[in-house]
């Protein structure tokens, strides 16, 4: 059974940091891409950052560029999202999702983890 499990969310003050992790299991993801999305209350889900399973081909939303860093931990089969200089507008449920490198549909999704940034 394929699973993506997010962890690391929580409550933090503006300017603080959090580290989210997405643990992937149940299949080989070598030709897949892992992407972080977020959804704030009343808003549509938006792209945050993505990385190929190889650790290459990294990209970020403009709103998080320079503050967030996505990385692949090969030893643990996890994709991490280091979030620094957090702002209240970063408050959202954060999801990781997986799609095949040549595909366009995200086939697997995690359950989400809440990030709340207080002002």
pLDDT of the chain, 119 residues: tens digit per residue: 999 999 999 999 999 999 999 999 999 999 999 999 999 999 999 999 999 999 999 999 999 999 999 999 978 899 999 999 999 999 999 999 999 999 999 999 999 999 999 99
Q: Give phi and psi for 90, each to the nearest 5.
A: -85, -5
Residue 75: predicted pLDDT: 81
Q: Which two tokens stand for residue 21?
A: 């992790």
Strand partners, 71: 80
Residue 76: predicted pLDDT: 84
Coil, helix or strand at residue 90: helix
- From the list 78, 96, 103, the residue with the least C-alpha distance to 25 is 78
Residue 52: predicted pLDDT: 96
| Cβ–Cβ under 8 Å, residues 49 and 58 | yes
């Amino acid at each position: 059974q394929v699973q993506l499990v997010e962890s690391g969310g929580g409550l933090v003050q503006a300017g603080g940091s959090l580290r989210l992790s997405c643990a992937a299991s149940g299949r080989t993801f070598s030709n897949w891409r892992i992407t972080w999305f977020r959804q704030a209350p009343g808003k549509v889900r938006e792209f945050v950052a993505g990385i190929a399973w190889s650790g290459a081909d990294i990209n970020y939303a403009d709103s998080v560029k320079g503050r967030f860093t996505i990385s692949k931990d090969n030893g643990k089969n996890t994709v991490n999202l280091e979030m620094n200089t957090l702002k209240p507008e970063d408050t959202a449920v954060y999801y990781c999702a997986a799609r095949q490198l040549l595909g366009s549909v995200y086939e697997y999704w995690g359950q989400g983890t809440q990030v709340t940034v207080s002002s």
